[in-house]
Amino acid sequence: MDEPGAVIDGKYVLGEVVGSGGMATVWRAYEYGSQVPVAIKRIKESIAHDIGFVELFVEEARVYTQLIHPIIVQILDFGEDHQGNYFLVMEWVDGLTLAQYLAAMHELDLWPPWQLVAAVAIEALKGLGAAHARIDPQGRLAPVFHRDVTPQNILLSRAGAVKLTDFGLARAMDRARITEPNVIKGKVGYLAPEMTEAAPASPQTDMYALGVVIWQGLTGLRMFEGKDEVEIFMSAKRADVMPLAEIRPDVPVAMSAFIDRALAFDPADRFESADQMQRVLANILYSQEVHVGPEVLGHSVLEIISYRDSGRVSR
């Protein structure tokens, strides 16, 4: 059984649990004899011998090894322990998830500055663009679609770096059948309308999900509501979105128009690529004579961490 202090594969010492999902648990850990932290993802013991889940976990490791980019959390090691259970070792990002950052802002009764949200989105789009433009070892275009772009999977470091993580639901084109057909993956509140009809993932579905993240980050609201996942699913299917300007009149018109395009019902009406979406958003900041560098974002992250440590907001 995993517990603090346990040594994995004779190389890594588990510290504390920092995240847990349906398939895996993430630990802060240290390489044996070192104080440099790493993140270790372990398949939950209850499903460690389920072949389907193990295949997904191995697929995640395979995808990560082929996505080398400053905005994508990097894999450092992958292997099996003495019991035959897989583990994935990733770089440690010292900071907060975007979900934690936004939740703290909400508890403090603050709206995140639209400029900061835009700056985070620009960085996330750089990572998505790299995944969508992946080239396989044979030199062929083999895009990877994240399929789970949510605030929980965007990390903000104390230094102001932005990182995309958790490509566990990613599907490379050369492994298109690793999951059963017609099974919708990802959190339903971030699904593009066409995904509710079992359409294949695409750059536009990832960009739509990021549009939902931006809208929710700016409003402090959930875009699609419901008493259960079925109701949220049906709301996402209809894609009825409250105009951003009605909630955040301080946001420039160009930013509202950007959100409208990102959240267009028809994929053909959205941005053509993550690179194009990033450039449009950067031009909005430039036109407003706004510059949000890592130092600005890092300062804001440190303030939120200070509030959390002081007990003014929950964890």
Query: 173 to each of 8, 135, 139, how far by Cα in Å?
Result: 33, 11, 14
Q: Write down the pTM of the prediction.
A: 0.89
**Catalytic-role residue among 109, 136, 148, 174:** 148
The pLDDT tens digits for 63-88 are: 778 888 999 999 899 988 887 888 99
Give catalytic status of residue 148 as yes or no. Answer: yes
The pLDDT tens digits for 260-312 are: 999 999 999 999 999 999 999 999 999 988 889 899 999 999 999 998 888 77
pLDDT of residue 29: 96
Domains and CATH numbers, the chain: 7-91 (3.30.200.20), 95-309 (1.10.510.10)
Residues of the chain by 3-state class (helix, strand, coil), percent to 5: 45, 15, 40
pLDDT of residue 315: 66
- Weakly modelled stretches of the chain, pLDDT under 50: 171-186
* b/e burial code for range 72-102 (CB count within 10 A of at least 16 → b): bbebbbbeebeeebbbbbbebbebbbbbbbb
- Asked if residue 1 lies in contact with residue 45, where contact means CB atoms within 8 angstroms, the answer is yes
